[in-house]
């Protein structure tokens, strides 16, 4: 093959050529639909946090390259947050790294920790960047599928154990889990931790929805379990917790050797990012507990509003215990192909959703599921449920 006949995009990435989000967001615009596809809030976070960013900009803090590991104020605030919420003590100087959102933290961790050919066991359906980052790192992904059971999607611990081989380097965990809304229980997390210790695995755990946990569910960081602190890279983000997804302030907390490794990759991705926003994120992390409680209660009410509307329209609703997504089953509507359903939904109902199959390697396992985001204003959700009622309710 001549070089001109060779495709531009390399083989590692061909399967990731286009994302469904671009297609669906474009459809939302051309059809005037309510976009419940992509997960970003339609109102900004706390005014005092926004003002903190303005102040940092004006005062000339962070307008030039901030320090590689992140500004000291933010690293201290991240360490204080982990200590206050979870009793996890991290040294802000050696065990905390600020990243360009959780997205860069995921990429840097996988690029740093994997050798080509290493296997990564991850929970399917996956957040969309996991598969691409494993591929960029030359790793091999091994999915363990969360299966519908008792109104939610659950992990089969035997399947997880069976997925680990001598080539497994790392478990990639996400709790609270996007897109299913599953929050792994303390017992499940303990079993994951025991497996990691027994098989001497690294663990990368994406906990960006740590503050969006509803009802009786509880977020327990994997790093709190015996033997886990030294093998776990914990990823957090200001985007989801404070409703400033455009700021791209994320972080890693881990033992010094792991942070140093992740930083080695991170320094050649963005080097640094989000200077003034880092100062604002530091203030956000120091908000009183009342902020976090009110934020969670607000999202829970929105979950209930959209969930009730979807159930009324005839969907089977898997009530999420966390995150700001709700997964539905479209089979009660006489449908079975989530892709076709989501492509038709804007014309049919004036609403945009995402087919969960895009988050699966086993496409057939995800085929009948469709994800809606409920991090939108109440009037937007009410409008959406009315549209769905008109289109589907009998």
Ligand X SMILES: *Cc1c(COP(=O)(O)O)cnc(C)c1O
Residues making contact with ligand X (CB under 6 A): 101-103, 127, 174, 178, 206, 208, 237, 239-240, 245, 248, 250
Nearer to ligand X, 16 or 197 (CB): 16
Q: Yes or no: say if 309 and 381 are a contact pair by the CB < 8 Å rule.
A: yes
| Nearest-approach distance from CB 226 to ligand X, in angstroms | 26
Q: Give Cα separations from 353 to 155, 322, 324, 373 (angstroms).
A: 24, 18, 13, 8
- CA distances to 41, 137, 206 from 251, in Å: 20, 20, 10
**101 or 350, CB closer to ligand X?**
101
The distance of closest approach from Cβ of residue 117 to ligand X in the complex, given in angstroms and rounded to an integer, is 25
Cβ proximity to ligand X, 77 vs 349, nearer residue:
77
Nearer to ligand X, 119 or 206 (CB): 206
Both tokens of 213, joined, read 């946990």
236 Cα distance to chain centroid: 9
> With contact defined as beta carbons under 8 Å apart, do 338 and 359 qualify?
no
Q: Among residues 232 and 237, whose Cβ is nearest to ligand X?
A: 237
**Considering the complex, what minimum distance in angstroms separates the CB of residue 239 from ligand X?**
4
Least distance (Å) between residue 109 CB and ligand X: 12
- Nearest approach, Cβ of residue 245 and ligand X (Å): 5
Q: How far apart are CA 32 and CA 35, in angstroms?
A: 9
Q: Which is nearer to ligand X, 31 or 38 (CB)?
A: 38
Minimum Å gap between C-beta 236 and ligand X is: 8
Indicate the Cα dihedral angle 353, 356, 359, 365, nearest 10°. Answer: -170
Alpha helices in the chain (DSSP H): 20-31, 47-58, 72-86, 101-113, 128-136, 157-163, 186-198, 238-242, 256-266, 275-285, 289-313, 338-349, 363-366, 378-392
Which one, of 349, 341, 303, lies nearest residue 34 by Cα? 349
Of 377, 392, 364, 384, residue with least CA distance to 124? 364
Tokens coding 208? 């960006």
C-beta separation of 219 from 176 below 8 A: yes
**Interior CA angle at 358 toward 355 and 364, to 5°?**
85
Shortest Cβ 128–ligand X spacing (Å): 9
- Of the pair 103, 385, the CB lying nearest ligand X is at 103
For ligand X, the closer of residues 81 and 240 by Cβ is 240
Give the shortest CB-295-to-ligand X separation in angstroms. 16
- Minimum gap (Å) between residue 221 Cβ and ligand X: 15
Give the span between the Cα atoms of 358 and 343, in whole angstroms. 13
Residue 133's nearest CA partner among 159, 154, 110 is 110
> Minimal CB distance to ligand X: which residue?
101
User: In this complex, which beta carbon is closest to ligand X, that of residue 178 or of residue 234?
Assistant: 178
What SS3 state is found at 212? coil
């Amino acid at each position: 093959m001549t070089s001109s006949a060779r495709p531009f995009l390399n083989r590692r990435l061909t399967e990731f050529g286009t994302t469904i989000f671009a297609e669906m967001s474009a459809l939302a615009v051309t059809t005037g639909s309510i976009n419940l596809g992509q997960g970003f809030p339609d109102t900004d976070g706390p005014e005092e946090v926004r003002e903190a960013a303005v102040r940092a900009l004006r005062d000339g803090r962070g307008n030039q390259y901030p320090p590689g590991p992140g500004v000291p104020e933010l690293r201290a605030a991240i360490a204080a947050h982990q200590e206050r919420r979870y009793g996890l003590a991290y040294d802000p100087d050696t065990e905390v790294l600020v990243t360009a959102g959780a997205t860069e933290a995921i990429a840097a961790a996988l690029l740093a920790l994997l050798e080509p050919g290493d296997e990564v066991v991850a929970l399917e359906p996956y957040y969309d960047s996991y598969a691409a980052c494993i591929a960029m790192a030359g790793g091999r992904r091994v999915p363990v599928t969360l299966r519908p059971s008792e109104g939610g999607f659950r992990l089969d611990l035997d399947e997880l154990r069976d997925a680990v081989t001598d080539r497994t380097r790392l478990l990639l965990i996400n709790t609270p889990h996007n897109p299913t809304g599953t929050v792994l229980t303390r017992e499940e997390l303990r079993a994951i931790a025991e497996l990691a210790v027994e098989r001497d695995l690294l663990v990368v755990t994406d906990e960006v929805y740590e503050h969006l946990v509803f009802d009786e569910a509880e977020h327990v960081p994997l790093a709190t379990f015996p033997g886990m602190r030294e093998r776990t890279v914990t990823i957090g983000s200001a985007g989801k917790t404070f409703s400033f997804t455009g700021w791209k302030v994320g972080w890693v907390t881990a033992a010094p050797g792991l942070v140093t490794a992740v930083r080695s990759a991170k320094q050649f991705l963005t080097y640094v990012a989000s200077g003034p926003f880092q100062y604002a994120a530091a203030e956000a992390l120091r908000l009183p507990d009342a902020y976090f409680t009110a934020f969670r209660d607000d999202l829970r009410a929105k979950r209930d509003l959209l969930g009730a509307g979807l159930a009324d329209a005839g969907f089977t609703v898997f009530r999420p215990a966390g995150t700001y997504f709700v997964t539905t089953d479209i089979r009660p509507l006489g449908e079975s192909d989530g892709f076709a359903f989501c492509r038709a939904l804007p014309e049919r109902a004036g609403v945009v959703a995402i087919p969960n199959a895009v988050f699966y390697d086993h496409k057939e396992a995800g085929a009948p599921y469709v994800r809606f985001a409920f991090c939108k204003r109440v009037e937007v959700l009410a409008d959406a449920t009315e549209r769905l009622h008109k289109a589907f309710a009998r």
